[in-house]
Structure 1
Amino acid sequence: MSQTIRYTLLSLRDLLVSVGPFVVLAVSLLGLAYWWLDPNPPKHVTLATGPEQSAYEAFGQRYAELLAKDGITVKLLPSEGSADNLRLLREGKADLGFVRGGTTQADDPADAGLESLGSLFLEPVWLFYREAAAPANTTPPQTLESLTQLQGLRVNVGTPGSGIPNLMAKLLDSNHIDAAQLTLSELGQTPATVALLAGELDAIVFASAPESSLVQMLLQTPGIKLMDFAMSEAYSRRFSFLSPAVLPRGVVDLAANIPPHNVRLVAPTTTLLARTETHPALVQLFALAGNTIHGGAGWFKHAREFPNVKNNELPLAQEAERSIQGGAPLLQRYLSFWMANLVERMWLAMGIILAVLLPLSRVIPPLYAFRVRSRIFRWYAQLRELENRAEDTTDTAPLLEELNQLDRHAEKISVPLSYTEELYALRNNIQLVRKKLQRTGTH
């Protein structure tokens, strides 16, 4: 190995040893910041959806497909509906869930650990009835426009977990209708639909987005009509969680003119709720997925009308608000989700660490110089001891032998070329002490 390569490797070794403590400190601080900030979310999350063939189930599947592209596995947890989803969230059995407006209350202590990811869509109250079961004395005949016309009919109001029985109780009470005047049942959506088509029920009530396959089917089934809530504006004034909505004429099937006229409905707004301990990155991903899933035009909305930050009964998550209003963060438009998320959540910590380490980095050059010079300066202690011992004796032969050994060691010292001046200074000082010993030995 040539001397040049040897000196270069030696300099690199000294530099690495000098920088080592600085690197260890930097890595330790980064590790501590990573542990404290927990930037990367879990790869599994549970989403409470709804009954089979419901819009909640369909939307849940679309969320799962979108988040799978970013390596997140979404477990879909079927439920009876909105109220059941709220229970699952409160009990910690689900991380997120679809909840209809009017199900929660802002001042309920049980909901203190929940937050909203924004309003996603209107979920109209659909009251389908058999035309043959409707009273013949209505105008037009066998057409329902008021809840008071349900008296004496067999009506299914859905399972308790769906939240519809509670909603219907409020609506019936506002119309001064005694529930005993109706024959009420609490079947699920699918069995209730089967019973309606079989003539075992006269009417069924459920709340769902128009994307529901049951809604699509019933709107096009002969002999089945959709009740027109003629007083939809009045309902929205009486109940803050309800909004008036209109199903436009022909929107279901333009060629068949279904429905044959505008149908007035009342509609709660459905939100996506999350537990407050849900990782912020997951909240961001779900909010961004919501922009894609719910941002298009529909029967009851214009394009980009939803998701929005309105009509939230619970506090809105900051990550969701930023995603709804600003879209995907800049880095996520060019980097993978995991890399962009790591940088986004660690940049502040990295800036603080850099501000701390920059002043400390000034220690590295003096430390490097000290390490190189220490290989030279440690021999000065032995040289001074020899010189001191020479003053107390006239027999300098043993001292000269020790000095020769010290000189041989000095010849083997390797230092970078920039520090050879100190090495030659040591060897010159050894020569001075040798001359002094030789003079002492001749006297």
Structure 2
Amino acid sequence: MSRIRILLTLLAVVVSVASVVVAFRVLNPTPPRTVTISTGPTGSAYERVAEQYREILAESGVELVLQPSAGARENLLRLSLGESDVGFLTMGTPDTREAQNLSSLGAMFFEPLWIFARDPQLFAGAMAGVGDSRIAIGPAGSRTNAATRYLFELNGLDAASMPLLELAPADAEQRLRDGELDAVAIVSNAASPVLKRLLSMEGVTLIDFERADAYAALFPELRKLIVPAGIGSLAHNLPAQDTRILAFTTILVVRDGLHPITRSLLLDAASRVHSAPDIFHQAGDFPLAIDQVIPLSDSALAYYSDGQPLLLRLLPYWLAVLVMQVLVAAIPLLTIVYPLLKLMPSVFDWAMRRQFYKVYVELRQMDRGLSSVDPGQIEHYKKRLEELEQRVTSLRVPVTYASMLYALKAHIGAVRQKVHAADERASEA
């Protein structure tokens, strides 16, 4: 009978392990320790912000690996292919409508289109003088590149025939400073180190978008912003006057498979980084829950509504993860394994009794057959009773079943007496 106990114990162990494994796969209580984020070109605001995120996530023991890119369009491609977990996109990025398996964590900051030129009249009116100018428009695949080309096309210029240079922001800044370029376009927020240097660069003018209201009316993803005079350098009054520019809105996007706790950590980092005031917004304006093209994730909706998950508010990150794992493991143990354990004594009792019942079934058949037994069957009955008695004697049962064992032997003896009696009657006849 120890074999039955062993089998039942093994069954309980297998079911326990299997249920816990399935629960962990389905509920996924273990967030990743390493997360990848597709940023932007060297010196871009994307890169600077991602570095701040990395420092904040490191406080919870999560490593954020930065993956430099050409910009928002390459970020979108990487996210769609699963090559990155997180990335910065701009609202209105081409191809976002075709993006699959992505969710937004909300809007993080404004990302204006800045154009700096040596000749302040270069972009005046319909930009007639731009055609032959040396203009850096950002790396291929960047938001700057796509936005600048589209801006030229809207004004009737053939971007394909223009001598445009696809340079990274830092390289373009240096060439403009050295006089090798006529203008530089850059899509970036005001925190970019490159942008700060461009705003304070003498001999260079920030282009004023005279028709900013028309652009914003025609393209809802654009916002008109005002750059205050002197924001680049009060000493040199750069820019020299309030300047109208156009801005996109940057959103933080994640793959759908990224763990909800990791999303909460990213949102917490974003709140700490972007809630500070900027030249274009007040304190607390960002991050902002915006559901456009790429839907806002459930984790983001919960965060903007209630803040961090309760466990992260009450416990350190590592302890919150441990509690989640324990709770997930407890679900199958309480719903499957515990009832199974309670059922095991009944199953064991059924297995014990079944052995006795099988002998009783045969005894009853023999007992009923004695009333009309043929003399030739007597010896068969005797032999069969001997086999049954040996079988019962060899049974290994707990002490609690000893009374049933001896009762069964007594019943075998009673049937044996009837068989002997039938044998004597057959002999006398």
Q: TM-score, normalised by structure 2?
A: 0.73
Farther-moved stretch of structure 1 (320-329 vs 365-374): 365-374
1:118 is aligned to 2:106: yes
Q: Is residue 240 of structure 1 aligned with residue 226 of structure 2?
A: no
1:146-167 CA-to-partner distances (Å, cap 9, x unmatched) read 4535614432222222132321
Distance, in Å, in 2 between the alignment partners of 1:125 and 1:182 is 19
Instruction: Give the aligned partner of residue 94 of structure 1.
Output: 84
Alignment partner of 1:168 out of 148, 159, 166: 148
Residues 119 and 312, structure 1, Cα contact 8 Å, conserved in 2: no
Distance 1:103 1:18, change over 3 A: closer
Cα distance in 1 between the residues matched to 2:309 and 2:258: 19
1:314 is aligned to 294
Partner of 1:148: 126
Counterparts of residues 290-305 of structure 1 (less than 5 Å):
290-305=270-285
Is residue 2:269 matched to residue 1:289?
yes
Matched, 1:328 2:308: yes
The answer as to whether partners of 2:205 and 2:239 remain within 8 angstroms in 1 is no
Q: Give the SS at the match of 1:158.
A: coil
C-alpha distance in 2 between matches for 1:244 and 1:341: 45
- Map of 2:120 onto structure 1: 134
Query: What CA distance in whole angstroms lies between the structure 2 residues aligned with 1:159 and 1:269?
Result: 20
Closer/same/farther in 2, CA of residues 272 and 343 from structure 1, 3 Å limit: farther
Q: CA deviation at 1:285?
A: 3.0
SS of the residue 1:52 aligns to: coil
1:170-319 aligned at under 5 Å gives the runs: 170-179=150-159, 183-252=163-232, 259-310=239-290, 312-319=292-299
Cα offset for 1:321? 2.7
State the alpha-carbon separation in 2 of the partners of residues 81 and 51 from structure 1.
6
TM-score, structure 1 as length reference = 0.71
Equivalent residue of 2:117, what SS? strand
Aligned mates of 2:291, 2:256 — CA distance in 1 = 19
SS at match of 2:223: strand
**Cα shift at 1:315:** 2.2
On the 8 A contact 2:16/2:332 being kept in 1, the answer is no
Compare 335-344 and 54-63 and name the one that shifted more: 335-344
**Counterpart in the other structure of 1:338:** 321
Q: Counterpart of 1:151 in structure 2: which amino acid?
A: G
- By how many angstroms is 1:64 displaced? 2.0
SS at 2:74 equivalent: helix
**Which residue matches 2:18?**
28
The structural deviation recorded for 1:84 is 2.3
Residues 321 and 240 of structure 1: is their aligned pair in 2 closer, same or farther, counting only changes over 3 Å?
A: same
Residue identity opposite 2:228 in structure 1 = P
Q: Equivalents in 1 of 2:80, 2:125: separation in Å? A: 33
Once the two structures are TM-superposed, the CA of residue 294 in structure 1 deviates from its matched residue by 1.7
Q: Secondary structure at the match of 2:40?
A: coil
AA partner of residue 62 (structure 2): I
Query: 1:322: how far off?
Result: 2.2
Q: Specify the SS of the correspondent of 1:120.
A: strand
Instruction: Report how far residue 219 of structure 1 moved.
Output: 1.3
Q: After the TM superposition, which residues 50-61 of structure 1 pair with which residues of structure 2 at under 5 Å, given as runs?
A: 50-61=40-51
Tell me by how many angstroms 1:190 deviates.
Answer: 1.5
Query: Structure 1's 186 and 53: CA in aligned 2 closer, same or farther, altered over 3 A?
Result: same
Distance 1:338 1:252, change over 3 A: farther
Contact 2:42–2:168 under 8 Å retained in 1? no
**How much has 1:318 moved relative to structure 2?**
2.0
What is the aligned counterpart of 2:31 among 28, 37, 41? 41
Q: CA separation of 1:84/1:365 partners in 2, compared to 1, >3 Å: closer, same or farther?
A: closer
Within-5 A mapping of 1:403-418:
none
Residue 274 of structure 1 aligns to a residue in which SS? strand
State the percentage of identical aligned residues: 32
Q: Among residues 41, 51, 67, which one is paired with 1:77 in the alignment?
A: 67
> Offset at 1:360?
4.2
Number of aligned residue pairs: 416
* Residue matched to 1:387: none
**One-letter amino acid matched to 1:328:** Q
Structure 1 contact 150–182 (Cα < 8 Å) conserved = no
Q: Which amino acid aligns with 1:197?
A: R
1:241 partner amino acid: E
1:92 Cα deviation from its structure 2 partner: 3.5
1:181 Cα deviation (Å)?
9.2
Counterparts of 1:233 and 1:345 in 2: how far apart (Å)?
54
The alignment partner of 1:34 has SS state of helix
Gap change, CA 1:345 and 1:270, over 3 Å in 2: farther
| Paired residue secondary structure (1:39) | coil
Decide whether the 8 Å contact of 1:288 with 1:324 is kept in 2: no
Structure 1 unaligned regions, length at least 5: 1-13, 136-143, 381-412, 430-443
Query: Structure 1 residues 93 and 424, CA, compared in 2 at 3 Å: closer, same or farther?
Result: closer
Deviations 1:71-114 (A, max 9, x none): 332221111212222233334332322122222345x4x42233
The CA deviation string for residues 378-423 of structure 1, in whole angstroms up to 9 with x for no partner, is xx9xxxxxxxxxxxxxxxxxxxxxxxxxxxxxxxx99899x99999
Structure 2 alignment gaps of length 5 or more: 361-395, 412-429
When the two chains are superposed, the root-mean-square deviation of aligned CA atoms in Å is 5.0
Query: Equivalent residue of 1:122, what SS?
Result: strand
1:434 equivalent in structure 2: none
